[in-house]
């Protein structure tokens, strides 16, 4: 069998809560193939963000391991990059310098940086705004800068935690289309946390449904419809129902 690009085995994570320990993740097993776009859904507080941070190497699990190309990883690495929300951009830097920030830190010379950032600014339709400051952009544009900033690092795996949560519906619909194009162009492996079941069905090659705490992956649902998909696609409604019917009992348990 083909080796998974990324595999998590039995990830367990506790947090101190009042006088006892709370088990957030109760053994998360997930296999992600190269080029998969896995959307993670689950009840609030079940540990999706914690799981993503553990995969990024920003947090250590109490038990279990992360395998990247079959090898255990325990720290952050350039092959797994988290797309932080647009709020994490540097307001004192211009758009292009925000996008090039990671490359600069990695010691890439100026001309090469400019070449790389140009490609992603184009892809994100931000070329005209390369010299703007981030406060001069709309929320959706800032989100695109945040995505470009991660993409320039050319990671194998992109980790995204509710990147569209703060957007208005129109901007989100635009980015849903753009995100599918980006994925098709770059063939990145993506882990994408969302609360929005329609968003998960539109974007994902698979949707991973988390159970309530202590969380595990309750079900991994493949999504095989043609792209580009939109939230209005009637083909996707049955799938959304299926995901919701798995989610509903978990959300009730967490109340």
Return the one option of Mg ion, ligand ATP, none that residue 46 interacts with (CB less than 5 to 8 A, by type): ligand ATP
CB of 255 to ligand ATP, least distance (A): 13
Return the one option of ligand ATP, Mg ion, none that residue 15 interacts with (CB less than 5 to 8 A, by type): ligand ATP
CA–chain centroid gap for 121, Å, is 20
Is the Cβ of residue 49 or residue 127 nearer to Mg ion in the bound state?
A: 49
- CA–CA dist 147, 62 (Å, integer): 30
- The DSSP-derived string for 180-201 is HHHHHHH--EEEEE-S-HHHHH
Q: Work out whether 49 is an interface residue with Mg ion (CB under 5 A).
A: yes
| Residue 113, number of CB atoms within 10 A of its CB | 20
- CA–CA dist 135, 144 (Å, integer): 14
How many residues of this chain bind ligand ATP (CB under 6 A)?
11
CB of 50 to ligand ATP, least distance (A): 3
Is the Cβ of residue 26 or residue 47 nearer to ligand ATP in the bound state?
A: 47
At residue 208, the 3 state secondary structure works out as strand
- Applying the rule CB under 6 A, the residues between 27 and 46 that interact with ligand ATP are 42, 44-46
Is the Cβ of residue 99 or residue 167 nearer to ligand ATP in the bound state?
A: 167
Return the one option of ligand ATP, Mg ion, none that residue 45 interacts with (CB less than 5 to 8 A, by type): ligand ATP
Contact residues for Mg ion, defined by CB under 5 A:
49
Residues near ligand ATP (CB under 6 A) are 15, 22, 24, 42, 44-50
């Amino acid at each position: 069998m083909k080796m998974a690009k990324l595999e998590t085995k039995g990830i367990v994570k506790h947090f101190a809560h009042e006088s006892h320990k709370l088990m957030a993740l109760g053994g998360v097993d997930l296999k992600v193939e190269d080029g998969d776009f896995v959307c993670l859904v689950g009840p609030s507080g079940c540990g999706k963000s914690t799981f993503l941070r553990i995969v990024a190497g920003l947090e250590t699990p109490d038990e279990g391991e992360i395998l990247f190309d079959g090898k255990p990883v325990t720290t952050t690495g350039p092959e797994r990059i988290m797309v932080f929300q647009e709020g994490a951009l540097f307001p004192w830097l211009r758009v292009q310098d925000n996008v090039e920030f990671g490359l600069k830190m990695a010691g890439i010379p100026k001309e090469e940086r400019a070449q790389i950032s140009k490609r992603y600014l184009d892809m994100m339709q931000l070329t005209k705004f390369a010299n703007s400051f981030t406060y001069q952009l709309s929320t959706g544009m800032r989100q695109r800068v945040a995505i470009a900033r991660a993409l320039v690092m050319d990671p194998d795996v992109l980790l995204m935690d509710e990147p569209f949560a703060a957007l208005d519906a129109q901007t989100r619909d635009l980015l849903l289309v753009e995100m599918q194009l980006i994925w098709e162009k770059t063939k990145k492996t993506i882990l994408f946390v969302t609360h929005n079941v329609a968003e998960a069905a539109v974007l994902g090659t698979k949707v991973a449904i988390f159970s309530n705490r202590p969380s595990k992956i309750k079900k991994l649902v493949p999504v095989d419809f043609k792209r580009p998909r939109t939230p209005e696609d009637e083909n996707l409604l049955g799938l959304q129902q299926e995901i919701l019917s798995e989610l509903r009992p978990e959300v009730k348990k967490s109340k």
